[in-house]
Amino acid sequence: MNLIVCENYEEVSQKAFEIMKEIVASKPNATLGLATGSSPIGLYKKMVEDHQKHNTSYEAITSFNLDEYVGLSKDHPESYYSFMYHNLFDHINIKEENIHLPQGNGELEQRCNEYEAEIAKYVVDIQLLGVGRNGHIGFNEPGTPFTQTTHIVTLDDKTIQDNARFFNNNVNEVPTQAITMGIATIMKAKKVLLIASGENKAEAIYNLVHGEIREECPVTVLQKHADVVVIVDKAAASNLK
Ligand code: F6R
């Protein structure tokens, strides 16, 4: 595991951008696994600026997102679909048909199977991850078997509390379920890039680096992956030995 500790969020975003850019520049038809949430916003901003300034092309890039809430329509402002278009896809030249986001409505089991089958046609060159305070990756909450592929989850209370900030600070507005790539799906990526900032991630980062590998803390599974880069700020690194 390659651990990079940065001064602050800006530096985390810059370092993550350099890794992402290296892949997009060296492999124009790369497959990117993408994440939502607060963590990647700075990175996406840098990808957009770079595309505008240097014409970095996403024309042949394919993307797969990690997860989506169940029951929100695509055009809901807090759907991960809206998030991705607003923060990235609307501002780069990725082709609509190369964008894949799990869909959290309709026949859910079929949605999971179709998404997993679609990803299986590709090799994800780099999977971007944030991490939950409780160690979740994607929406794989504590206790999720490491063998799990794309599935429907019931969100943990901590996750609902943390995400209430996007839903008028009202836990009752946060969807209680999500569709997520499974841990087995995530682990198939060639490279994993995990970014985290802030003290509330310190325990999860401690577990990732020093903790025992266990399903109760999903992020620890990354210790078994051959190519993981972890980029954190000082606050998220504050529990490390
Ligand atoms: C998002 C995702 C989640 C987030 C995690 C951290 O697609 O899969 O695992 O990465 O909840 O969220 P933030 O970055 O908002 O702290």
Instruction: List beta partners, residue 67.
Output: 180
Residue 121 has what pLDDT?
98
Q: What is the mean pLDDT of the chain?
A: 97
* CA 68 to the chain's CA centroid: 11
Of 195, 132, 188, nearest to 158 (Cα)? 132
Residue 132 has what pLDDT?
96
Q: Is the CB of 103 under 6 A from ligand 1?
A: no
Tokens 């198939």 -> residue: 188
d(CA 124, CA 30): 8
Q: At 100, is the pLDDT very low, low, confident or very high (cuts 50, 70, 90)?
A: very high
Instruction: List beta partners, residue 152.
Output: 179
Ligand 1 atom closest to 36 (CA): 7
Structure tokens at 65: 């997102």
d(CA 113, CA 110): 5
Looking at the chain, the whole-number percentage of residues with pLDDT higher than 70 is 100
d(CA 149, CA 181): 6
Ligand 1 midpoint to CA 98 (Å): 23
* CA 67 to the chain's CA centroid: 8
Residue 127 has what pLDDT?
99
Catalytic residue among 65, 87, 140, 141: 141
pLDDT tens-digit map of 18-59: 999 999 999 999 999 999 999 999 999 999 999 999 999 999
pLDDT tens-digit map of 138-186: 999 999 999 999 999 999 999 999 999 999 999 999 999 999 999 999 9
- What average pLDDT does the segment 118-128 reach? 98
Q: What is the pTM of this model?
A: 0.97
Ligand 1 midpoint to CA 39 (Å): 7
* Helices of type H across the chain: 9-26, 41-54, 80-87, 108-119, 157-163, 183-187, 202-210
Residue 241 has pLDDT above 90, yes or no: no
- What average pLDDT does the segment 103-122 reach? 98
Strands 62-65 and 151-154: unpaired
